[in-house]
Amino acid sequence: GKSAQIGSHTRSPDAMEGPTPVSASIHAATTVTAGVFMIARCSPLFEYPPTALIVITSAGATTSFLAATTGILQNDPKRVIAYSTCSQLGYMIFACGISNYSVSVFHLMNHAFFKALLFLSAGSVIHAMSDEQDMRKMGGLASSFPFTYAMML
């Protein structure tokens, strides 16, 4: 339920309307990543049923594609990052589905660090822009926020 896969992925970006540090913690390191870690830990259970890995692979690939496509259409930076997280979780589930559990957990750990930094950087920009959350109105910020710009790259 908590890994934001297809069917339950719409709740995830809506939860990111809260304060940025809470969003960073929830989305990058704790709640949504638990499903991927649980699948990796229970990997022997998924190796024996013939269709289990096919279902996991299909769910991961579908989620990855749909979340990335939806994220491209968003204008709120926190929602873009939230859909990006859903997409990355889809990649991780896909990796579990093709029995690359170590790759999935490695990506999970990397994702926790870089996505937390992205959430905090987005919160910094939103705060500096007087709580403006429309990316269409945030052009040319590299000269105004060089450190935040460097960290978000």
Q: What is the pLDDT of residue 92?
A: 94
Task: State the 10-residue block means of pLDDT for the chain, 153 residues long.
Answer: 59 59 61 85 91 95 94 91 90 96 94 84 84 85 83 73
Cα 130 from Cα 139, distance rounded (Å): 14
Percentage helix, strand, coil, to 5, in the chain? 70, 0, 30
pLDDT of residue 14: 59
Domain ranges across the chain: 11-152
Position 6 scores a pLDDT of: 64
Give the per-residue pLDDT at 1.
44
Residue from 10, 20, 18, 44 nearest 115 by CA: 20
Query: Residue 19: phi, psi to the nearest 5?
Result: -60, 145
Give the per-residue pLDDT at 9. Answer: 55
d(CA 91, CA 148): 27
CA distances from 47 to 33, 35, 52, 94 (A): 21, 17, 7, 14
* Residue 71, pLDDT score: 93
